[in-house]
Structure 1
């Protein structure tokens, strides 16, 4: 089986401690369990490389969990397996997520030497009280130290994750975090609003609602974040992502524009061969897999209706919006032939704009993007 260029995601589910807001597939584990998992992950990578006859890979993203928690030599071995299994472009973007409390100069040097050229630090806040509330294991000082060490090791593409609408956060403390972090001049920011998910400690915490900013305050923080970062030379190119010119996350842009990708590891999701499928979220079940394509083979291809819905839902996340020409080329029909009514109605409300080439959500309506996107479910 041959395929065109694709992206790879490698999931490292291990972390030192679960954060109070986290509903991702992540948990603490011992050294032996981590080693067993890494070997299984390598088997999965090798399998798909052989099956697809070493297709070209444009981006790799190592996420978690906390990938920077495990020994760097294991990350290096995974990168070697990727290169042995796939044809990696010279310009390949390779990102690793890192918790500031788990990085060392030795780890960063190994990441750099094995081809990782982008690092994403999960800072979330610069304030001790907010970090403690979130259950983070690091301090702002840990982050600053790790950031400078990453620079010293040669990383010229650094993202910082921040969080708005944290319990007890105010507009003033949000701005303090943003400005203190911006002083380090990272190339990219991802700034998300806290969402309380079922099954997390925050979901069960009594009285938490009284500590959370209101929806209006959250919206004001969202607008203020964009205003500050724009002034500092960062442009919002997606709902929650801001970059200096040329430093947009290519891997995530691939997700939003419908590029095929394979997810390796526990609970990892894939979009390949017009199918969406995911690995088991149970460790024992994942480790027992002998046929890595079994889940893929069982899934049905997305219908044209489902593909169009996903194309609109994901594409409208990006501030440049959706190309009318690309929609026509992909689906063999004009976008107005399918979505004329919602486009006209949303445009009339100021929630959507269009010209001869594109359709997009205007900046002032981005906070209401979910409301807009729901109108494109056929």
Structure 2
């Protein structure tokens, strides 16, 4: 029986860098697109053969904005993957997009090659707020993109949203959720704004052009949970909400410590006990592939202790938490024994809840999730 495998494909190009974004992506690199995809397809062709052992169950094409490049490049990548991997005919294949970067023709092309899940970046509803964070679209263009996707036949659509933005009020956030839910997407990702070093918003915050209101941020978060639950979306991870049975299977792979291979610039992998990542300099990435050199810049074999810690802090991102029976199955021990001191302290301080062999974050734990996760990394 073939083991499950997932693939992540990184497309680093976008029309304009958003003011909050620190992802490995570039604008104004159109001249590099063709040569990058030649290198990417060569990397896929050179990946060690897994056909006899693994079946690809999910593929996620991220970036950047993958739909910014011509759809012919995406088609070729999918074809190359199918030639080199055993891909489940029912595999979840996702692609990230932004409003205005794909039309009816490209949407049909994606669907015909087997892409069956679309993730659209909206972030917020108000056009003035969108402009303030460097988005290239209006909410009207978002609605048009969404309607086009539905017309083409996409039935599994995620919408990305961000709360805690500069000058965003609770009424702005309420309106965003109301308008988006009217469209009835199958999935919503609601992220709290993170000020990443080097971004435009980070520099604006440093110069006191705006400040983060932590109390308002938490108000928005808990409003999201209540409103979306009442609208038919259940929260299955800290930032993710889905209609019944419409969770993102690819993201669950990360949170459940399952194997995946990352392909493309800076892509990360967890495969056969190793964590490794690809070259992050695009010129070096292309040069190394053209010359047959390794593109792996970091490779580490995880110890059993590493895997145990990752099982816990990744799994605790899920709202239902983690189960000791699955931990025992993987490690032949109980996390109640392996982390007795840490668990007892976190329970005492009301960060986590124990119920019948299950460990999950409390409401307080949701607010201090990173603190909880770090508790399992400290000896």
Q: TM-score range by the shorter chain?
A: over 0.9
In 2, the alpha carbon distance for the partners of 1:242 and 1:206 equals: 29
Map 1:255-294; keep pairs closer than 5 Å.
255-290=254-289, 291=292
Alpha-carbon RMSD across the aligned residues, in angstroms, is: 1.9
Partner of 1:312: 312
- Give me the whole-angstrom Cα distance separating, in 2, the residues matched to 1:198 and 1:210: 16
1:295 aligns with 2:299: no
2:368 matched to 1:358? no
**Distance in 1 separating the partners of 2:149 and 2:121:** 14
What does 1:186-265 align with in structure 2 at a 5 Å threshold? Answer: 186-205=185-204, 209=208, 211-265=210-264
| 1:305 positional shift | 1.6
Deviates more, 1:360-369 or 1:315-324: 360-369
Q: Decide whether the 8 Å contact of 2:56 with 2:91 is kept in 1.
A: yes
Runs of 5+ consecutive residues of structure 1 not aligned to the other structure: none
Paired with 2:178 and 2:207, the residues of 1 have a C-alpha distance of 27
SS of 1:92's partner is strand
User: CA offset at residue 323 of structure 1?
Assistant: 1.3
Which SS does the other structure have where 1:333 is aligned?
coil
In structure 2, the residue matched to 1:39 is 38
Going from structure 1 to structure 2, the CA distance change for 1:361 and 1:292 (only over 3 Å counts) comes to farther
1:72 aligned residue: 71
- Aligned pair in 2 of structure 1 residues 206, 231: CA closer, same or farther (>3 Å)? closer
Structure 2 counterpart of 1:122: 121
CA distance in 2, matches of 1:18, 1:284: 19
For residue 208 of structure 1, report the CA deviation from its aligned partner: 6.1
Kindly tell me: are residues 105 and 276 of structure 1, through their superposed partners in 2, closer, same or farther at Cα, counting changes over 3 Å?
Answer: same
1:374 to 1:207, Cα distance in 2 relative to 1, 3 A:
closer
Distance 2:205 2:355 in 1: 49
How far the C-alpha of 1:237 sits from its partner, in A, is 0.3
How many angstroms apart in 1 are the aligned matches of 2:25 and 2:210? 26
- Preserved CA contact (<8 Å) 2:8 2:260: yes
Matched ranges for 1:79-94 at <5 A? 79-94=78-93
- Please report how far the alpha carbon of residue 217 of structure 1 lies from its aligned counterpart in structure 2 after TM superposition: 1.1
Report the counterpart of residue 61 of structure 2 in structure 1: 62
User: What TM-score does the superposition give when structure 2 sets the normalisation length?
Assistant: 0.95
| Matched length | 376
Task: Give the distance between the partners of 1:167 and 1:342, measured in 2 at CA.
Answer: 37
2:7/2:59 contact within 8 Å kept = yes
Could you say what secondary structure the match of 1:5 adopts?
strand
Alignment of structure 1 residues 98-177 onto 2, 5 Å: 98-177=97-176
C-alpha displacement at 1:200, in angstroms? 0.9
